[in-house]
Amino acid sequence: MRESGPHPRPIALTEPQRRHLAVLLDRIEAALSEVTRLAVAPPRDRVLMADLADLPPDLPALVSPEAERVRRAIRDIAERFHLERQAQSRRRRSQALVGTAIVQAEDARSRALHGYGPVGPALVQALDPLVEEIVHALVAVAVAIESDADPGLARAEPR
């Protein structure tokens, strides 16, 4: 990799080019950060997904210098092409995640299963109330995200 430092000739990018380049480089850095986190974090199983700790034990030592090399290159590119650091709102990210989860929960209702096979009344009665409880809880989380008050989750009705 080239050494950073003053560059002989500035290369101008358009604003859309700068934004696009910044987004791509940020995604690269985020991917490496996630790999680094996964290499050292204990498994985080979910109800329906086992998180296998199957990475090589020496991966953190191998990834760390390469990740730093990538970050250095990103810093050099950002400096040379005048890429601006963007702010990312945790609130907006959380809203997007929960909003997507609500749509996915609604798609888990029995009516959405017709395309995969027959759906009888027993399935409707067994599945839909449980999915409805998930939707109610997710709406309560969405309300809490919007709230500037104490982070206690208030019960909310689904939309």
pLDDT in tens, 3-40: 555 655 768 899 999 999 999 999 999 999 999 999 99
Helix (H, G, I), strand (E, B) or coil at 115: helix
pLDDT in tens, 63-121: 999 999 999 999 999 999 999 999 999 999 999 999 999 999 999 999 999 999 999 99
| The token pair that represents 1 in the structure block | 């990799």
C-alpha–C-alpha distance, residues 144 and 151, integer Å? 6
Rg (CA), the chain: 23
CA angle 21, 29, 62 (to 5 degrees): 140
C-alpha–C-alpha distance, residues 130 and 136, integer Å? 10
Pure H helices in the chain: 15-40, 59-80, 90-106, 121-146
